């Protein structure tokens, strides 16, 4: 990102300039009042410093005109702040009709998103520049919040009903999105990137080939992009087993049997995770069927293979937390 | 800084008999019904919780030095900020000024021998202890990782931490607040000395009266809310559980119905302290007494109808959000009235820079920043961007630390001679006040910028571009920590070695300064009669100030 | 504070009116008044509660200050109920789950 | 603080002391209003959302027992008011008698409540894994009521499911509220009964008369308040939308 310290995030949506303009106005008004008060305090305390220990001040009990003045005069300013803010908010809460609808599901601690044509993403959102985008958001478990600082928008994602939000990206680029409502252990890593693309790039992406490259590197990238890394920690203390040294080893299953961890086992574990449960873990992993392409499975398998010679954790699954998973 | 030495005659001696030496032994303290001793018990217990909460805060700040967050695991980090919040809010900030300073001085200020219900006052302290014990048990056995807001369904269904004992502890502690508030309301109504009319009540008492209204009307709601969440967790009942069709947002409505006014529980008493300190050290009547008194009540009442501004982005109806935003802007009016009046009080005063006054002046500045940034959050359009970011964290720390704790420390220094009969080392105390002011701003000002940049709160890990500001904040926090340790040391030292203060070292006009320091168990040798107006130096020749003239006898009957 | 002593006769009268209202509300419950059902039940309950407060609890005869305290209690209850219900009853602008339908295949198995 | 007779040391006069105690009690009752208010709010929001499920839930309560309990509780309020009257008119033996009557009526109320809870347990209406709103309809045992009643219940649930397919979940919400509200009310009754025992012990020593009766009066206020809560609970839980069957 920027090398020097930025004072505001990039303006990348229709709301960003509106919010920034309002904030400049508010800062101006507030700095004015803060400066007036502080200047008065500083001036008074030096001007009216006590000269002798037994001196008393001039008894002034108040002034009705002053009181009325400082109750009434700032009031129009407050009304402007209120009205301006409310105008932006009402606009934000009333979605235009011509939107590109993206479904967003929050789950402890990952985001699943689905483009209008059914293409699914995890912790990634691709949108075309200049189109109104509506996010229709639900939660699988607790309250989350989808927040994109560069767009100046956020909205809670509440279990039990859908919330919606909208924005129009105005600048091509990659922007952070965060989970902004505290949702448990990995709240801080429940985020990702919004990629704003030129419309033709977006169309190309939708019909999409993912480029070529070293499968291990791509697999390692997928490992974090698909949020595998939030559960499958290298030390085996996450909610899922470690990948270290697992390839071609005999895996002890929860039902007592063992299985050879070959390519087919890995594929099955990604697509039907609950078919074979490793001893010491609870079935908590969602299916990635339809979320990953065959190509990506190959890449992920390549990455897991590359960890073959890493030392496996000493006591697998010693501390699998029993999260209240429905 | 001008040297305006206190004119304490050097020959002052401690009174022969006072509340501290009236009886001895641990029983005489644990079974006391003397409001002053109960205040001391509270002082010790809230200080304990302050340091518990402060320890968690230090660990949080150290952890946030680097983006990766290597000091503690995510689970531990979440527990740290939750326990920091719970300890500080429910067990330090809410009881701090009312239960310590309010308990000690309100009865003396109104010329009563004690609060209306001394035994209930002691009971409040024990309830506080029991509640505190439950919460400490929760901290010790697995901790608490729901955030101090206990949002459902995270707290009621999904969290694996020790939520149940914490919820029980806070539920119990609520009754301590309720009983304290009840005691104050009744005391102010029925226990005033002859001549102590409503319009002669010190503003500290007005502020506590307003606070007590919130205690009494708000606290039962948090009690029932947490009880319902606890029942949901313990017995699988459903009130907010989406699986039964319940609405988690309903919990937030109930929670904030109390917890927003609770902010005023923290700040109103601090405003009361400042309203005492400023006239004393400007040596003149406070400017606009009735407006400050009315604004306290105004804040307490309007404070009850703004709560849903915490919920603008939960899916609340647009109409409701607009209404709540408007009401929130209204609270700015009484708050601003206070600031303007304090500032005007300085005009043509005789201003001294004793330690309490330094806290008072610091309070005005910090509260102004805290209050003005509140407008940003009340403003709907900005809240979309700022909600749940570090901007919010910075804002409420300016109110709660910059406001409430500065007020608390100012009050402790102001009444310390009354509580202990001795003065603290003035030079050290001024240094500490300045260190606190600098440390505080360095800690929390960068967080406003962090928030505007979009850093969400409650993050154990953050993108690297936020690091510079986080390092500044942590550096400030270390200065702040030093600032808190200093008063602990010199105040403790002064209890034994401090200079004897005498009845009225500043001098100040309140009734509490007409009795011994420390006062008798009954506060006054005989029931005082008030025949002077509040904060009046001009007609108080007994204070020994130049130019004071004798007062005409005033009618002494009450106006109740 | 001069104490007002209410005669037992009045207490008995109040008791019987409470009984009458109880029977009335039970009877009303067997009839369907549409959306007025809740209103009728609550109005009768409020009348009964007022009788208890005014006479059994001597609310009618107590000091102005006490009356203020009672009114404040109910006023704050009204604030809480009123403003929260105002939020819930004006939420129609948001699309409900049934309007939107479930996203085709985003259900997450676990 | 020293105590002189009935006058505690922090007060100047007995009148001031009494005024203070009464004000304190009323302020306490205001906190109680808000305490129960939180549950009433939760109730209102959910009834608003799921009126069918709440109506059916209400029909599963025993109207006769509920109405009987209402009468018992109002009667106990009358005896409590009479106890206060006896104290202020210095009829010392009557005070004790009326207090005992109040206590007995309170216990009757609690007893009936236990019977009702047991019924709900038998009918699998305790929220949790065993909850099943149609348990009685499925297992038509005598414990659930007459065949006629169960037939009515069956059609009602059938109709309800058409409007609200999630009826079972939503009626759990109703019963959660039912148990929380009546449970906390019963807890207040139990506390009230304890206070009555204390009063009876004092009254039997003849402590209360026209000069000193604050405890009777204040505990009386508390008792009436608990009665008022029930006056609202009864229609809200038992009565509204009962006729829909």
The least confident of A281-295, B475-489, D71-85 is: A281-295
Residues in D touching B238 (Cβ below 8 Å): 127, 172-173, 176
Q: Report helix, strand or coil for B390.
A: helix
CA angle D12, B541, B282 (to 5 degrees): 95
- C98 pLDDT band, cuts 50/70/90, is very low
How far does the CA of residue B216 sit from the closest CA of chain D (Å)?
6
CB–CB contact B304 C76 (8 Å)? yes
Residues A204 and A219 in one domain: no
Look at residue B260 in the predicted model and tell me its pLDDT. Answer: 95
How far apart CA A94 and CA A134 sit, in angstroms, is 11
Q: Does the predicted model carry a pTM greater than 0.80?
A: yes
In this predicted structure, what is the pLDDT of residue B7? 56
Which residue from A173, A179, A193, A191 is spatially nearest to A124, judged by alpha carbons? Answer: A193
Report CB contact under 8 Å: C85, D44. Answer: yes
Q: Please check the confidence at residue D240 and state whether its pLDDT lies above 90.
A: no
Counting the structural domains of chain A, the total is 2
Q: Which of D17, D23, D38 to mutate to probe the B interface, most B CBs <10 Å? A: D38
Burial of residue B196, with CB atoms counted within 10 A of its CB: 0-12 exposed, 13-18 middle, 19 or more buried: buried
pLDDT tens-digit series, residues D220-234: 999 999 999 999 999
Please give, rounded to a whole number of angstroms, the shortest distance from the CA of B343 to a CA of chain A. 6
Pair A202, A226 in one domain: no
pLDDT digits (tens, 9 = 90+) for D140-175: 777 787 888 888 888 888 888 888 888 888 999 999
**Residue A266's pLDDT is what?**
80
Q: Does an H or E element contain A154, and which?
A: strand A153-157
pLDDT, tens digit, 9 for 90 and up, residues B124-170: 999 999 999 999 999 999 889 999 999 989 999 999 899 999 999 99
Give residue A261's pLDDT.
83
| DSSP assignments along B1-63, one per residue | ---------TT----SS-TTTSS-SHHHHHT---HHHHHHHHHHHHHHHHHHHHHHHHHHHHH
Shared domain for A203 and A271, answered yes or no, is no
A29 and A83 assigned to the same domain: yes
Average pLDDT for B263-292 = 96
What string of H, E and C letters represents the secondary structure of A307-324?
CCCCCCCCCCCCCCCCCC
Q: Examine residue D94 and state whether it is found in any structural domain, yes or no.
A: yes
Written as six digits, the tokens of B11 are: 């020959």
pLDDT at A11 over 60: yes
D78/C15 Cβ within 8 A: yes
Mean confidence (pLDDT) of chain A: 85
**A170 CA: distance to closest CA in chain B (Å):** 17
| CATH at residue A21 | 2.60.40.420
Which residue of chain B comes nearest to C74, CA vs CA?
A: B217
Return the structure tokens found at B516.
């011994």
Q: Categorize the per-residue pLDDT at B1 as very low, low, confident or very high, splitting at 50, 70 and 90.
A: very low
Q: What is the pLDDT of residues B387-428, one digit of tens each?
A: 999 999 999 999 999 999 999 999 999 999 999 999 999 999
pLDDT of residue B553: 67
CATH of the domain at D200: 1.20.120.80
Q: Print the domain residue range for D77.
A: 19-39+52-244
Q: Which domains does chain B have, with CATH numbers?
A: 29-543 (1.20.210.10)
Per-residue model confidence (pLDDT) at position D150: 85
Q: Is the model more confident about B2 or about C29?
A: C29
CB B221 within 8 A of CB D38: yes
Within 41-80 of C, beta carbons closer than 8 Å to B belong to 65, 72-73, 76, 79-80
Residue A221 to residues A115, A121, A275, B281, B394, Cα–Cα distance (Å): 21, 14, 26, 65, 35
Mean pLDDT of A262-279: 79
Chains that touch B (3 or more CB pairs under 8 A): A, C, D
Confidence of residue C1 (pLDDT cuts 50, 70, 90): very low
**Residue A201 and residue A228 share a domain:** no
Q: Is the pLDDT of residue D245 over 50?
A: no
pLDDT at position A241 is: 86
**Confidence class for position C103, pLDDT limits 50, 70, 90:** very low
pLDDT for res A47: 95
- Other beta carbons within 10 angstroms of residue B522's beta carbon come to 19
**Is there a contact between B221 and D39 if contact means CB atoms under 8 Å apart?**
no
pLDDT over 80 (residue B3)? no
Q: What is the pLDDT of residues D19-69, one digit of tens each?
A: 899 999 999 999 999 999 999 999 999 998 888 899 899 988 999 999 999
Task: Pick the more confident residue, B524 or C34.
Answer: B524
C49 to D232: CB separation less than 8 angstroms, yes or no: yes
Q: What is the pLDDT of residues B31-69, one digit of tens each?
A: 999 999 999 999 999 999 999 999 999 999 999 999 988
Residue A264 has pLDDT above 90, yes or no: no
Inter-chain CB proximity B283 and A141 less than 8 Å: no
What confidence tier does B294 reach under pLDDT thresholds 50, 70, 90?
Answer: very high
Evaluate whether B172 touches B86 at the Cβ level (below 8 Å).
no
Residue D161, pLDDT score: 87
Closest Cβ opposite residue C66 in set D22, D77, D235: D22
**Neighbors of chain C by Cβ distance (3+ pairs < 8 Å):** A, B, D
- Render pLDDT for A13-65 as a digit per residue (tens, 0 to 9): 999 999 999 999 999 999 999 999 999 999 999 999 999 998 999 999 999 99
**Is residue A2 situated within a structural domain?**
no
**Å from B482 to nearest chain A CA?**
26
Q: Please name the member of A114, A164, A284 whose beta carbon is closest to the beta carbon of C106.
A: A114
Q: Are residues A23 and A161 in the same domain?
A: yes
Within a domain: A316:
no
User: Which segment of A28-37, A247-256, B461-470, B509-518 scores lowest on mean pLDDT?
Assistant: A247-256
How many angstroms separate the CA atoms of A169 and A132, rounded? 7
Contact: chain D with chain B (3+ CB pairs below 8 Å): yes
The answer for A 10-49 residues in CB contact with C (under 8 A) is none
Mean pLDDT of D185-193: 97
The distance of A293 to chain C (nearest Cα, Å) reads 16
Q: Determine the pLDDT at residue D187.
A: 97
DSSP characters over C20-33: HHHHHHHHHHTS--
Residue D86 lies in a domain: yes
Q: Is residue A322 part of a domain?
A: no
Q: Which domain holds residue A120?
A: 9-208
Confidence class of residue A147 from pLDDT cuts 50, 70 and 90?
Answer: very high
Confidence of residue D9 (pLDDT cuts 50, 70, 90): confident
How many structural domains does chain D have?
1
What are the tens digits of pLDDT across the range A199-221?
A: 999 998 888 754 456 777 888 88
pLDDT of residue B551: 83
**Mean pLDDT, range B14-23, rounded to an integer:** 90
Cα gap B404→B116, rounded to integer Å: 26
Do A31 and A166 share a domain, yes or no? yes
- Does A311 map to a domain? no
| CATH of residue A268 | 1.10.760.10
Listed residues A208, A237, A267: the one ending a domain: A208
């Amino acid at each position: 990102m920027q090398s020097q310290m930025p004072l505001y995030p990039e303006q990348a949506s229709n709301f960003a300039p509106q919010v920034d303009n309002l904030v400049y106005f508010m800062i101006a008004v507030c700095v004015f009042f803060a400066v007036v008060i502080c200047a008065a305090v500083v001036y008074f305390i030096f001007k009216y410093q006590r000269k002798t220990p037994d001196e008393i001040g001039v008894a002034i009990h108040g002034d009705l005109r002053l009181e009325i003045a400082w109750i009434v005069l700032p009031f129009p300013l407050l009304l402007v702040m209120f009205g301006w803010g409310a105008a932006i908010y009402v606009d934000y809460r009333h979605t235009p009709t011509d939107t590109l609808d993206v479904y967003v599901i929050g789950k402890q601690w990952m985001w699943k998103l689905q483009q209008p044509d059914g293409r699914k993403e995890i912790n990634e959102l691709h949108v075309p520049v200049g189109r109104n985008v509506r996010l229709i958001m639900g939660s699988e478990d607790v309250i989350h919040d989808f927040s994109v600082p560069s767009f100046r928008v956020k909205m809670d994602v509440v279990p039990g009903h859908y919330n919606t939000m909208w924005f129009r990206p105005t600048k091509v680029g990659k922007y952070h999105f965060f989970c902004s409502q505290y949702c448990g252990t990995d709240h801080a890593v429940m985020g990702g990137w919004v990629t704003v693309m030129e419309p033709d790039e977006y169309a190309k992406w939708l019909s999409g080939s993912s480029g070529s490259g070293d499968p291990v590197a791509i697999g390692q990238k997928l490992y974090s992009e698909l949020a595998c890394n939030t559960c499958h920690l290298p030390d085996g203390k996450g909610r899922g087993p470690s990948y270290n040294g697992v390839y071609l080893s005999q895996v002890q299953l929860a039902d007592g049997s063992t299985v050879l961890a070959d390519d087919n086992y890995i594929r099955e574990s990604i697509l039907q995770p609950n078919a074979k449960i490793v001893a010491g873990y609870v079935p908590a992993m969602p299916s990635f069927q339809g979320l990953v392409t065959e190509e990506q499975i190959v890449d992920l398998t390549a990455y897991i293979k590359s960890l073959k010679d890493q030392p496996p954790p000493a006591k697998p699954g010693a501390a699998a937390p029993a999260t209240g998973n429905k | 800084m001008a040297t305006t030495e206190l004119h304490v005659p050097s020959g002052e001696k401690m009174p022969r008999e006072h509340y501290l030496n009236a009886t001895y032994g641990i029983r005489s303290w644990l079974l006391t019904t003397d409001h002053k001793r109960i205040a001391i018990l509270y002082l010790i217990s809230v200080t304990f919780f302050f340091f518990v909460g402060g320890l968690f805060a230090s660990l949080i700040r150290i952890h946030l030095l680097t983006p990766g967050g290597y000091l503690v695991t995510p689970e531990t980090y979440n527990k740290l900020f939750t326990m920091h919040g719970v300890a500080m809010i429910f067990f330090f900030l809410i009881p701090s000024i009312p239960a310590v300073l309010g308990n000690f001085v309100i009865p003396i200020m109104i010329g009563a021998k004690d609060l209306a219900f001394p035994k209930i006052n002691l009971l409040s302290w024990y309830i506080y202890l029991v509640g505190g014990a439950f919460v400490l048990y929760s901290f010790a056995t697995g901790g608490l990782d729901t955030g101090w807001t206990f949002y459902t369904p995270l707290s009621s269904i999904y969290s694996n931490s020790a939520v149940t004992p914490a919820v029980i502890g806070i539920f119990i502690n609520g009754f301590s607040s309720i009983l304290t508030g009840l005691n104050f309301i009744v005391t102010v109504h029925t226990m005033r000395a002859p001549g102590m009319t409503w319009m002669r009540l010190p503003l500290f008492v007005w502020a506590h009266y307003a606070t007590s209204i919130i205690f009494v009307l708000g606290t039962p709601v948090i009690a029932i809310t947490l009880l319902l969440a606890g029942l949901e967790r313990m017995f699988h009942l459903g009130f907010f559980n989406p699986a039964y069709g319940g609405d988690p947002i309903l919990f937030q409505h109930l929670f904030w119905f109390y917890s927003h006014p609770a902010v005023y529980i923290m700040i109103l008493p601090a405003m009361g302290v400042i309203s005492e300190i400023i006239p004393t050290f400007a040596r003149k009547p406070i400017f606009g007494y009735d407006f400050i008194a009315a604004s306290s009540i105004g804040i307490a009442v309007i404070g009850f109808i703004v709560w849903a501004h915490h919920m603008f982005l939960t899916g609340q109806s647009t109409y409701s959000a607009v209404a709540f935003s408007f009401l929130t802007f209204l609270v700015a009016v009484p708050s601003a009235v206070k600031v303007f009046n304090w500032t005007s009080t300085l005009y043509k005063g005789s201003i001294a820079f004793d330690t309490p006054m330094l806290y008072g002046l610091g309070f005005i500045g910090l509260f102004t920043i805290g209050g003005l940034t509140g407008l940003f959050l009340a403003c709907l359009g900005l809240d979309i961007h700022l909600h749940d970011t570090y901007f919010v964290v910075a804002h409420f720390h300016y109110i709660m630390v910059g406001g409430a704790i500065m007020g608390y420390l100012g009050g402790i220094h102001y009444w310390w001679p009354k509580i202990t009969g001795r003065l603290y080392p003035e030079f050290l105390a001024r240094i500490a006040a300045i260190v606190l002011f600098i440390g505080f701003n360095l800690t929390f000002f960068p967080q406003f910028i962090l928030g505007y940049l979009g850093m969400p709160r409650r993050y154990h890990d953050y993108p690297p571009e936020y690091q510079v500001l986080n390092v500044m904040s942590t550096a400030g926090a270390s200065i702040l920590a030093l600032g808190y340790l200093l008063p602990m040391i010199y105040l403790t030292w002064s209890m034994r070695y401090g200079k004897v203060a005498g009845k009225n070292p500043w001098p100040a006009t309140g009734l509490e300064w007409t009795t011994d320091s420390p006062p008798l168990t009954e506060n006054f040798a005989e029931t005082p009669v008030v025949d002077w107006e509040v904060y009046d130096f001009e007609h108080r020749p007994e204070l020994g100030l130049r130019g004071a003239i004798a007062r005409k006898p005033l009618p002494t009957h009450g106006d109740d | 504070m001069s104490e007002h002593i209410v005669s037992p006769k009045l207490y008995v009268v109040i008791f019987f009116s409470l009984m009458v209202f109880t029977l009335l509300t039970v009877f009303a419950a067997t009839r369907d008044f549409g959306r007025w059902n809740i209103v009728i039940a609550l109005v009768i309950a409020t009348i009964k509660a007022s009788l208890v407060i005014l006479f059994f609890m001597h609310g009618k005869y107590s000091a102005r200050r006490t009356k203020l305290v009672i009114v404040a209690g109910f006023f704050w209850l009204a604030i809480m109920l009123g403003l929260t219900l105002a939020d819930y009853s004006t939420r129609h602008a948001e699309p409900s789950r049934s309007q939107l339908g479930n996203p085709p295949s985003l259900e997450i198995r676990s | 603080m020293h105590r002189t007779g009935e006058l505690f040391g922090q007060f100047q006069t007995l009148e001031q002391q009494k005024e203070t105690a009464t004000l304190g009690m009323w302020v306490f009752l205001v906190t109680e209003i808000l305490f129960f208010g939180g549950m009433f709010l939760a109730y209102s929001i959910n009834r608003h959302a799921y009126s069918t499920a709440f109506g059916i839930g209400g029909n599963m309560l025993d109207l006769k027992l509920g109405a009987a309990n209402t009468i018992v509780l109002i009667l106990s309020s009358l005896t409590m008011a009479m106890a206060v009257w006896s104290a202020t008119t210095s009829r010392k033996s009557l005070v004790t008698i009326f207090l005992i009557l109040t206590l007995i009526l309170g216990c009757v109320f609690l007893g009936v409540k236990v019977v009702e809870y047991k019924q709900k347990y038998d009918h699998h209406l305790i929220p949790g894994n065993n909850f099943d709103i149609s348990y009685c309809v499925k297992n038509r045992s005598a414990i659930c009521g007459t065949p006629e009643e169960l037939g009515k219940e069956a059609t009602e649930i059938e109709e309800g499911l058409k409007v609200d397919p999630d009826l079972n979940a939503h009626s759990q919400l109703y019963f959660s509220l039912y148990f929380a509200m009546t449970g906390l009310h019963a807890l207040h009754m139990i506390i009230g009964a304890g206070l009555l025992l204390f009063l009876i012990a004092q009254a039997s020593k003849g402590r209360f008369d026209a000069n000193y009766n604050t405890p009777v009066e204040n505990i009386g206020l508390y008792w009436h308040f608990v009665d008022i809560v029930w006056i609202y609970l009864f229609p809200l839980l038992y009565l509204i939308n009962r006729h829909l069957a």
